A and B are shown apart, each in its own frame.
Chain A
């Protein structure tokens, strides 16, 4: 075990500023370059090796300070759900499509930024006054929406340009309001882990691309690293609301305030029970609150990572968040703090002994 600073880990101004920068940046799946370069600048002083690969992943290695160290990979995705401009109507109006899975009811009446120059635009829609009564109850069809750069916007955007929500980071007490906490929280967490990488671990960090459109970056990230263990760090929805019918909510997925969410099973991965056990025990031994994310749908990059080459024992640990894939996400600073703290302790204590017994 690495001799550690006995002060408990705390999220402070530096961490929140980092998160603000990351969430304010744009990286719609397919062009993560702004986020990638921002992260590259921050990890350069922390890492031994850095490179970007063909998919646009940023692969960062912090070497162990011993030989034959356990090779542990941690992954967070850089990309976000957003929009792609596909056609021009004229008059500054642009037809667009979604990139990744967002509920289209969330697009209406929002501010966006378009392209590398971050041109301001809006997604508006027909005023209520002009909407006949029988239409008001229907969903607004996606293909009737436009991104509007204003009447002076003609030709200012082209097919292929990406657009993201214009949301800016803010904080109120324990609550963070920002876009793309899924998964800039993961990215910020990985940067924090690089700061205090333990000497006994070969820490292989991937900031991956195109997770939201099929775990595509992750498909190749582990191929290069060839880790012995992989942990995906993401954000998972907290649906912990009261049900309108008064019945118990049995499908909350996870809860805000209950700490890091350890995955048992999702649509893409059956977590390695040895790792689930190790992480939950580490939390208990260090007095860190944690929860099990309900098994069922959804998925993280672990889905692609664990099937790389001859297979890798894998698990996901996520920070609970609300309203993923919408303009404003929310998360708890305390949950984030506990997640980073847990993962630090995990890395400090991981050893080949974890994999000695066969997978149950």
Chain B
């Protein structure tokens, strides 16, 4: 199996903010070209990679969605020489002070996110956790320069470089959800020379972090018979230790409840056990908070399951995952695909007819 680490590192070095995914889409398209039969882009920018089944009578299709967009920042206003920012997606303001960033204006301007000093604030606001109201990017440029180079809507990306830690662990920004895109790539590599009974649609979706729009519209257009969403899930770590969290190195998680069709949950658990693969069962009592939320309720309904790659410090610039978990997720996906037959739609759901 090819080492996925270099690809992963290149993915998290690439910008791909929700709504502006083109740079990372190009990277993924490049990687997927030798692995799929057809590549196309949806009206909302999702990348569709079709790996065709061998010629056969029936050709059901499976869609695997891994969102390629990442959270980030956008310029809201340039005023008095200050560049005020707003968030795209669930950015916790508290991780921003001191964060190195780049403002993508007419030029790329390096800068740092900072907050107003306490002495300039009212007493009741001093010492408090930062909010977007008081956060700005300082690039050192003059008012005049900023008026010419920066305007509302300009993107601001994180500059944190990927960190390779000992033992095959990687940290950086955008691991949510490039880690899953890497896992999906591992899957495509695994099935490269296999004759498939089903069409497989690898979809790098857009806009998951703000509206799940990519997954929803791709699923509608592709109308697959089954769907799998791959996203990162909460890794066990400081302050994150309850039933919603999973150990790094403990393998992928398989969802149960709400978004997950019980038959698919059962199947994935059985396959993981067959492969002797460590894995977790992730309780999703109400919704998964992933692309998996919109897939089951698209058009007339699509049986769906959500897989997770454990990730520490989600939605920070030092998100951390274990490459082994990424490999395992990819292999589990591949195993599901290779055991599919023409009749799987009937046999999978024998207990719960669809």
Contact = CB atoms under 8 A, between A and B. Distances in A.
Interface of A: 29-31, 33, 51-57, 84, 86-87, 95, 97-100, 158-160, 210, 213-214, 216, 219-220, 223-224
B258 A160 contact: no
Nearest to A309: B299
Given A86-B243, A160-B257, A216-B258, A223 B285 contact: no
Contacts of B300: 53-54, 220, 223-224
12 contacts: A30-B257, A30-B258, A53-B301, A54-B261, A54-B302, A86-B285, A158-B281, A160-B257, A210-B258, A214-B287, A223-B299, A224-B301
B44 interface: no
Nearest to A304: B297
Interface residues of B, number: 26
A55 B296 contact: yes
A213 B287 contact: yes
A33 B298 CA distance: 21
Contacts of A56: 352
Contacts of A54: 261, 296, 300-304, 354
A308 to B, nearest CB: 10
Given A31-B262, A216-B296, A224-B300, 5 more contacts: A30-B257, A84-B285, A86-B285, A87-B242, A99-B258
A51 to B, nearest CB: 7
Contacts of A210: 258
Nearest to B354: A54
A100 B258 CA distance: 11
Contacts of A99: 257-258, 285-286
B243 A33 contact: no
A53 B303 CA distance: 9
B117 interface: no
Interface in B286-309: 286-287, 296-304
B353 A52 contact: yes
Given A87-B242, A214-B287, A220-B297, A53 B258 contact: no
Contacts of A33: 262, 352
B256 interface: yes
Nearest to B244: A86
B299 A160 contact: no
B82 interface: no
A53 B256 contact: no
B297 A30 contact: no
